[in-house]
A and B are shown apart, each in its own frame.
Chain A
Amino acid sequence: MASTYTLISSQVLASSAASVTFSSIPATYTDLVVRASARDTGAGTTAWLQGKWNTSTSGYSETYLTGNGSAAASGRVGSQTVWGASGYISSDAAGNTASTFGSTEIYIPNYAAATAKPQSVFSVQESNSASTGVIISSMAMLWNNTATISSILIQASGTFDIGSSFYLYGISNA
């Protein structure tokens, strides 16, 4: 039986980096999944993932739902130049518990379809603190572009720490 859930590429950072890129993504799958475990070297209390599809700098909008341990909130941003601009896809930040990494999954169905691209993002960060470095986020993203996604740039709000890892999977319904 053909494999339906295939690792396309992965990157585990041996040195800090501002971004990672998956390029030359074939259009042979049905859906894409990005799974990231990331920490930012910045000194802020929050950090987040951002990115671009096909290096595009337009067409990103998001509706998000977050909980930070004390309250739930929802917000929306539109006409963004990168996805994740809402700041609520947290990874980790200096000042929080050491060696904690935020986990994020991005699911992109029908990434090769000639339609706008709705996507689901789920992100969690827990640092054994009642006040900082804790967040759970669910987000609906839309890339209003009909192009096939052939490259993915993921960047940190600051700099990804050593040990941050990024995995790109292809899911096939063929």
Chain B
Amino acid sequence: MATATYDKIATTTLGSAASSITFSSIAASWTDLRLVLGNLVVASGTPSLQLQFNGDTAANYSNTYLAGSGTAAVSGSGTGQTQINSSFALNATTPIAIFVDAFSYSGATYKTVLINEAGDLNGSGYVTARVGLWRSTAAITSITIKNSTAVNYNIGTTATLYGIKAA
């Protein structure tokens, strides 16, 4: 029998609004991680979604993005940050989806993640491809999803963490 290679590790659907979601005690049993964030709507404003690993709040994060605004292709970056900032599309009315792939998350190298943000808002919004770097050689054992203004994510926001196994 073939071995399952794509496993759900944990999932959260917010039954009450919350400003952050954390997956902890992530085992090193898989090769890669995939985080799927759906129905993302915040209580107010247009904050940036933020990711931190293993509770690290030091300036060990950076990112570079390529985005489409609907009128132009734009690119930018941020260095020496205390989290990976995934900007542009969070809002209080229209749900968006964000996908995060972390490759070799338990390897003893710095951790590169790919982030795809699907944030069409029917008249505005962005599509963004982003690469994030966490300069740590530790295995990723926890992931915290928060936002730049600490507003709540609405009820119904979903976050699912999958593990992808190479062997």
Binding site for B on A (CB under 8 A): 1, 3-5, 30-31, 61-67, 72-76, 78-79, 107, 109-110, 113, 115-122, 138-142, 144, 171-174
Find out whether the CB atom of B68 lies under 8 angstroms from the CB atom of A113: no
Q: With the chains together, A118 CA to B122 CA distance in Å?
A: 10
> Smallest CB-CB separation from A139: which chain B residue?
B127
17 inter-chain pairs at a CB distance below 8 angstroms, sorted by A residue, are: A4-B4, A61-B123, A63-B68, A65-B129, A73-B68, A75-B71, A76-B124, A76-B125, A109-B36, A110-B158, A113-B158, A120-B127, A140-B119, A140-B125, A142-B120, A142-B122, A173-B158
Find out whether the CB atom of B70 lies under 8 angstroms from the CB atom of A75: yes
Q: With the chains together, A109 CA to B119 CA distance in Å?
A: 13
Find out whether the CB atom of A4 lies under 8 angstroms from the CB atom of B7: yes
Which residues 1-38 in B have Cβ within 8 Å of A in the complex? Answer: 4-8, 11, 36-38
Find out whether the CB atom of B72 lies under 8 angstroms from the CB atom of A31: no
Which residues of A lie under 8 Å from residue B124 when comparing CB positions?
76
Any A CB within 8 A of the CB of B136? no
Find out whether the CB atom of A119 lies under 8 angstroms from the CB atom of B68: no
Find out whether the CB atom of A118 lies under 8 angstroms from the CB atom of B129: no
> Ordered nearest first, which 4 A-B pairs have the shortest CB separation?
A65-B68, A74-B68, A76-B70, A109-B38
Known: A63-B119, A72-B66, A140-B117. A118 touches B73 (CB 8 A): no
Q: With the chains together, A84 CA to B140 CA distance in Å?
A: 37
Which residues of A lie under 8 Å from residue B4 when comparing CB positions?
1, 3-4
Any A CB within 8 A of the CB of B69? yes
Interface residues on B, range: 35 or more
Known: A75-B71, A138-B129, A142-B125. 4 other contacts (CB 8 A): A1-B7, A76-B70, A118-B95, A142-B122
Which residues 62-118 in B have Cβ within 8 Å of A in the complex? Answer: 66-74, 89, 94-97, 99, 116-118
Which residues of B lie under 8 Å from residue A116 when comparing CB positions?
94-95
Which residues 33-62 in B have Cβ within 8 Å of A in the complex? Answer: 36-40
Find out whether the CB atom of B118 lies under 8 angstroms from the CB atom of A118: yes
Which residues of A lie under 8 Å from residue B160 when comparing CB positions?
30, 173
Known: A63-B68, A65-B66, A139-B127. A144 touches B158 (CB 8 A): no
Q: With the chains together, A76 CA to B158 CA distance in Å?
A: 26
Find out whether the CB atom of A63 lies under 8 angstroms from the CB atom of B162: no
Q: With the chains together, A46 CA to B95 CA distance in Å?
A: 31
Which residues of A lie under 8 Å from residue B156 when comparing CB positions?
113, 115
> Smallest CB-CB separation from A119: which chain B residue?
B118
A155 shortest CB reach to chain B, Å: 21
Q: With the chains together, A171 CA to B5 CA distance in Å?
A: 13
- A118 partner, pick from B8, B69, B71, B96, beta carbons under 8 A: B96
- B38 partner, pick from A31, A64, A142, beta carbons under 8 A: A31
